[in-house]
Amino acid sequence: MKHSYIAVFICVVFSMAVTSSLRAQEIFTVEQVVAFALEQNYDVRLMKNTSATAATSEKYSWGVYAPQINGTATTLWNNNSQVLEFADESRNTSGHPKANNITAGVQLAWTLFDGGKMFATRERLEAFAAQGELLVKDQMVNTIASVVTGYYDLVRQKQQLLAIRELMALNEERVKLAELKLQVGTGGKPELLQAKVDYNAQRTLALQQEAVIEQQKAQLNGLVGMQLPPTYDVTDSIMISLDIREQDVLGNVDNTNFALQASRQNIHMSALALRERRGELMPRLDFNAAYNYSRVDNTVLLNPFGTVFSRSNGFNYGLTLTVPILNNFATRSNVELARVNYTRQQLLYDQLKLNVDVGLRNAYIAYDNARKVLIVEEENILVAKENVSIALITFKRGATTFVELRTAQQSLAEAYTRLFEARYLAKAAETELLRLNGSLLR
C-alpha cells in the first residue's frame, strides 16, 4: 500500500507539472502531420511539378505520328528606280515601276516511315510519364519516413522531459526530507546541500530539454511547410508494430520499392532511345503536298514586254525518299553512346537493388534487436520505479542513506533514457523497413 501511495504521488505531481503547459496547445497526431507533409512539403511539390512536365509530354506524344502543316502568306510592294535601254534608242525609258506581289500557300509534310523511330519516341515519352509518377511516390515515401521519425523523435524528447520532471518531484521530496531531518537533528547539512544540487541539476535539464523540444517542433513544422500552428503538441506515446516478419518485407521488394521501379523505367527508356538512334540508320520516306497561290499586279510597268497582271494557283504532291549514306559517322556514334547508356542504366539498377537489399536486411536486424531491447527495458523501468519507491520509504524511516536513494534515482533516470531510446529506435527501424519496402504509402 505504501509503495502504491508513493507511485500515485509521483504520477499526480508529474501530471500537474505538465498539464498547465499543454492545456492551450492543440495536439496533432502523426497521421495529421503526414497529411500536411504530403500536401505542402516542398520536395513533394517539386517532384509533382516535374512529374506534371513528363505527363504533359506524354499527353501530346501522339503528335509524332501526325503530319506537319504550315501556312504562309506574303504581300510585297515594289517601287524601284529603273532604266531600260534598247538598240532602238527611241524605245529607251526610265522611271519608277510599281508592283504588288501576293503569295500564299499551305505545305504538308508527313513522315510515313523512319525506321520505327517515331514509335520508339512515343513509347519513351509514355515511359517517362510513368516514371514521373513513380518518382513522386518515392519522394512521398521518403517524406513520410522523415516526418514519422521526426514526429516520434519529438515524442521521445517529450517523454524525456516528463521523466525529468518526475525526477524533479522526487528530488524536491528529497530536499524536504533532508530539511526535516536537519531540523530534528537526524540529518546533516551536506545531505541537504546535495539534495538541492541534484534538484537544481534536474531543473537545468528540464530547461535544456524544453529548448530541444521547441527546436524539434520548428524542424517538424518546416517539413510540413509551416502548416502547424506556432504552438502545438504531439501525442505522448510511440506506437510500435512488433510483429513484422523478415519474409514480409524482403519477399517482393522489386515490385514494391518505388525507387527500384523508377530505375527499371530508366532501363526501358534507354532501350527505347537506342531504338530511336538505330532508326536514324534506316531510309526515311516522307509524303509532301502543298497548295500555292501567286498574284502579281504591276500597276506601273516600264518594260513593254512585261506582264501587267498574272495569277497562278494549284496543288502539288509527291514522295521523298531519304537514304542516309554518310554523315561523318555521327549516327553511328549516337547509336554507340545510346548502347553505352543502356548498359549504364542496367548497372545503376543492379547497384540500387543491392543497396536496397542490404539496407532492408540491416534495417530488419536493427528492428529485431530494438524489439528485444525494448522488451527488456519495459521490464527494467518497472524494477527501477519500484526500487526508487522502496528507497524513498526506507530513507524516510532512516534505514538507508541519501547516497543510496540518490543512486536509485540515477538508475531510474538512466532506465528512462534507455527505455525512450529503445522505443524510438524500434520505431525508426520499423519506419525504415516500411520505407524501403514502399509500404508507407499503402
Mean pLDDT across the chain, nearest whole number?
84
pLDDT of residue 289 exceeding 80, the answer is yes
Given a cut of 80, whether residue 286 has pLDDT beyond it is yes
β-sheet bridge partners, residue 421? none
Measured CA to CA in angstroms, residue 35 lies from 41, 47, 48, 165, 225 at distances of 10, 17, 16, 32, 11
Helix (H, G, I), strand (E, B) or coil at 379: helix
pLDDT in tens, 105-134: 999 999 999 888 899 999 999 999 999 999
Q: Given pLDDT bands bounded at 50, 70 and 90, which one contains residue 428?
A: very high
Quickly state the pLDDT bin for 163 (edges 50, 70, 90). confident
DSSP state of 67: P
**Residue 188 DSSP label:** -
Domain boundaries, the chain: 2-40+114-282+324-441, 67-113+284-323
Residue 9 has pLDDT above 60, yes or no: no
pTM of the entire predicted model: 0.78
- The three-state secondary structure class of 328 is coil
Q: Return the residue matching grid coordinates 522502496.
A: 390
Please state whether 80 falls in left (phi above 0), alpha (psi between -120 and 50) or beta.
Answer: beta
Q: What is the pLDDT of residue 321?
A: 93
Q: Of 230, 330, 205, nearest to 277 (Cα)?
A: 330
Higher pLDDT, 402 or 42: 42
- State the pLDDT confidence band at 393, using cuts at 50, 70 and 90: confident
Beta bridge partners of 101: 76, 296
DSSP string, 89-150: GGG-EEE--EEEEEEEEEEEEEEEESTTHHHHHHHHHHHHHHHHHHHHHHHHHHHHHHHHHH
Over residues 391-414, mean pLDDT: 79
Q: Please provide the DSSP assignment of 226-284 as one string.
A: S-S-SSEEE-S---------HHHHHTTHHHH-HHHHHHHHHHHHHHHHHHHHHHTTS-E
224 touches 36 (CB < 8 A): yes
pLDDT band for position 24 (cuts 50, 70, 90): low
What's the mean pLDDT in 266-292?
93
How does residue 2 score in pLDDT terms, banded at 50, 70 and 90?
A: very low
Flag whether pLDDT at 398 surpasses 80. no
Check whether 6 has a pLDDT greater than 90: no
Amino acid (1-letter code) at residue 177? L
- 323/406 Cα distance (integer angstroms): 93
Q: Is there a contact between 167 and 246 (Cβ–Cβ < 8 Å)?
A: no
- pLDDT tens profile 318-362: 999 999 988 888 889 999 999 999 999 999 999 999 999 999 999
Structure-model confidence comparison of residues 22 and 229, the more confident one: 229
Q: What pLDDT, on the 0 to 100 scale, is given for residue 342?
A: 95
The edge-to-edge listing of strands for the beta sheet with 309-322 is: 68-79, 98-113, 284-300, 309-322
pLDDT digits (tens, 9 = 90+) for 47-104: 888 888 888 888 888 888 889 999 999 998 887 777 776 666 666 677 677 788 899 9
Domain spanning 2-40+114-282+324-441, CATH class = mainly alpha
Confidence band, pLDDT 50/70/90 cuts, at residue 256: confident
Rounded to whole angstroms, the Cα distance separating 441 from 145 reads 10
> What is the SS3 assignment for 242?
coil
39-40-41 Cα angle (round to 5): 110
Instruction: Pick 428 or 96 by higher pLDDT.
Output: 428
pLDDT higher at 229 or 15? 229
Max avg pLDDT among 36-45, 47-56, 383-392, 424-433:
424-433
Q: Is the pLDDT of residue 175 over 50?
A: yes
pLDDT in tens, 353-362: 999 999 999 9
At residue 91, the pLDDT reads: 67
Residue 30 has pLDDT above 70, yes or no: yes
Q: Which helix (H) or strand (E) holds 77?
A: strand 68-79
- 67-113+284-323 is classed CATH 2.20.200: yes
C-alpha cell at 396: 524516510
Give the per-residue pLDDT at 110. Answer: 92
3-state secondary structure of 167: helix
Q: What is the distance between the alpha carbons of residues 388 and 396, in angstroms, rounded to a whole number?
A: 12
Q: What are phi and psi of 371, to 5 degrees?
A: -65, -40
